[in-house]
Amino acid sequence: MELSFNLIAQQLVTGLALGSIYVLVGVGLSLVFGLLTIVNFAHGAFFMVGAYVGVFVFAKTGNFWICMVAVPLITGAIGMLVERFLVRPLYGRGIDYPLLLTFGLAYVMMDLTRMAFGVQGEPFEAPEALQGAVDIGIGMFPLYRLFLIAVTSVILFALWLFLEKTRFGLIVRAGARDPLVLRVLGINVSTVWLTIFGVGTGIAGLAGLLAAPMRGVSPEMGVPILIEAFVITVVGGMGSLGGAIAAGLLVGVVVSFTTLFRPELAEFSMFALMAIALIFKPNGLFGRKGLMG
């Protein structure tokens, strides 16, 4: 295969678009783990729920932009209910208790979705305004994938502002280092954890909506994305938001170029990348030593 600058550039942009979904899923997972130290095995299920909430809202409104607002709010609200009534009673009992709970919860959510929407899956197309391709100087490129890159950039910037420039963000960052400090200052730690769990699951739901036009919508769509999300958190570092962003983009680019040369090895490439990371950077690109301890 003859490589040209335009071909390489197109694959790079394709990788960034794919990596945008990985970034959103990885950031949501890392946000919850970094503060609550919860390995959320239901994260992929929230990704799936977000896609189905988008299907439902779109069927009622016919407006994709309303879905963009409704999906993270509804999915985040479901996540907050899960944290309040299911996860919270398990705090302090060891990391394996919420892990097992969320593992079982993922299957419950999957079965409930099958009961509500059926097992065949639902079609979901990109809005008409985002269909087609545009010339980006290196050739024609799908407009919807450029939209993914732009939306992910906006979300990450908003999350950065939230964590770095607000009082609540300061509380979150302090709580991630030492929750005892918050209790000494009289801050309601439970409210902080509830909010962060809602934000993390809301981002996962939005990622599910954004991925729906490319991946389709089915009750099982959360299973592969959960595996991919954990690859990203391992490569980037458990609990590291910066690591999740870097790893998500890196995995997207690696999968994109592997698909160009050896499509059958595309899925294998991300696990190979994870193995390399574990060998040379056991804590991930930006992970903190002993976080799981």
CB 182 within 8 A of CB 196: no
Q: What is the pLDDT of residue 2?
A: 60
- Classified as helix, coil or strand, 141 is strand
Q: What is the pLDDT of residue 291?
A: 46
Note whether residue 265 is domain-resident. no
Note whether residue 194 is domain-resident. yes
Strand partners, 134: 141
Q: What is the pLDDT of residue 50?
A: 97
Domains in the chain, number: 1
Per-residue pLDDT tens, the chain, 293 aa: give them: 567 778 888 899 999 999 999 999 999 999 888 778 888 999 999 999 999 999 999 999 999 999 999 999 999 999 999 999 999 999 888 888 999 999 999 999 999 999 999 998 888 999 999 999 998 888 889 999 999 999 999 999 999 999 888 888 888 777 766 677 777 777 888 888 899 999 999 999 999 999 999 999 999 999 999 999 999 999 998 878 899 999 999 999 999 999 988 999 999 999 999 999 989 988 888 876 544 44
Note whether residue 280 is domain-resident. no
* Residue of 11, 38, 28 whose CA lies nearest to 209: 28
Note whether residue 94 is domain-resident. yes
Note whether residue 157 is domain-resident. yes
Q: What is the pLDDT of residue 177?
A: 67
Note whether residue 205 is domain-resident. yes
Q: Which amino acid is at 139?
A: G
Give the H/E segment covering residue 182: helix 179-184
Backbone angles phi, psi at 222, to 5 degrees: -80, -15
Q: What is the DSSP letter of 84?
A: I
Note whether residue 109 is domain-resident. yes
CB 258 within 8 A of CB 252: no
Note whether residue 84 is domain-resident. yes
* Residue of 32, 52, 51, 50 whose CA lies nearest to 41: 32
CA angle in degrees (0–180, nearest 5) for 110-115-120: 80
For 218, the token pair is: 């089915």
Q: Which domain covers residue 80, as residue numbers?
A: 18-126+142-219
Q: What is the pLDDT of residue 37?
A: 81
